[in-house]
């Protein structure tokens, strides 16, 4: 079992939703945390205050993870402030929705840039800079199994994330760094709730055996497991969706 004390985590998208919950949980488990944001510094600072007020260690760092220089600076912050990086939790992503035939290709390109290129960049940096015994945790989606209309571009980007993760796990043979993907189901985050009617949300919530949406705290149980004791879990996509798919 890996001791989480003195480990350092970078959480991309840490200013809200699953990212914020991940940062709080890993800090509660004893890790120092770099809370990444892109455009919402106030929310990131709030997460940092919540961690430090509870006796933990955290700093906020901003930047576009699809830009290699900005992503590199994020890892620089972790090394400068806490001495290194042990865990990458990559939750940052975007989810514009549209039927395929109506999707603006500029929007499609932006989805792929943030979700696919962003993952590729932060994973590449993690390979170079995460210490032995570390963990890379990417995020996919249960939408890949559920396949509802309007999600084609988003699902395509997250399918790419899964493949990147599975191949990277094999490329890291002999490095003692795990690479896994978490695929949440519908979760009550601003990203999911945006633009949906209460009726639609209730309908989606009823689709799993628990008859509710997931909460970020449900998802971070898997994050904490993969970031800490789960050394024999590697090259996997773990669906965390209450049985929805």
154 is catalytic: yes
- 37, 151, 154, 210: the catalytic one is 154
CB 28 within 8 A of CB 54: yes
CA distance 27 to 207: 32
Alpha helix (H) residue ranges in 130-235 = 143-146, 152-171, 190-193, 198-205, 216-227
Which helix (DSSP H) or strand (DSSP E) does residue 106 occupy?
Answer: helix 105-112
Which residue's entry shows tokens 């189901």? 185
Instruction: Tell me the sheet residues that pair with 238.
Output: 182
The token pair that represents 38 in the structure block: 């892109």
Positive or negative torsion for Cα 121, 164, 129, 231: positive
List, by residue number, the catalytic residues. Answer: 154
């Amino acid at each position: 079992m890996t001791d989480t004390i003195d480990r350092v985590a970078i959480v991309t998208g840490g200013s809200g939703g699953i990212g914020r919950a991940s940062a709080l949980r890993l800090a509660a488990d004893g890790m120092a945390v770099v809370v990444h944001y892109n455009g919402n510094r106030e929310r990131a600072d709030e997460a940092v205050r919540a961690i430090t007020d509870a006796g933990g260690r955290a700093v906020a760092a901003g930047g576009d993870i699809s830009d290699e220089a900005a992503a590199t600076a994020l890892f620089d912050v972790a090394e400068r402030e806490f001495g290194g990086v042990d865990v990458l939790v990559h939750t940052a992503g975007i989810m514009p929705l549209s039927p395929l035939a109506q999707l603006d290709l500029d929007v499609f390109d932006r989805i792929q840039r943030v979700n696919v290129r962003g993952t590729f960049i932060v994973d590449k940096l993690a390979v170079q800079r995460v210490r032995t015994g570390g963990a890379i945790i990417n995020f996919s989606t249960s939408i890949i199994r559920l396949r509802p209309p309007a999600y084609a571009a988003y699902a395509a980007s997250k399918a790419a994330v899964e493949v990147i993760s599975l191949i990277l796990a094999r490329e890291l043979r002999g490095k003692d760094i795990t690479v896994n993907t978490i695929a949440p189901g519908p979760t009550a985050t601003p990203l999911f709730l945006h633009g949906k009617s209460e009726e639609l949300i209730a309908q989606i919530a009823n689709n799993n055996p628990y008859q509710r949406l997931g909460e970020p705290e449900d998802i971070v149980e898997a994050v904490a497991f993969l970031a800490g004791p789960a050394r024999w879990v590697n090259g996997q996509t773990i669906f965390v969706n209450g049985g929805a798919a």
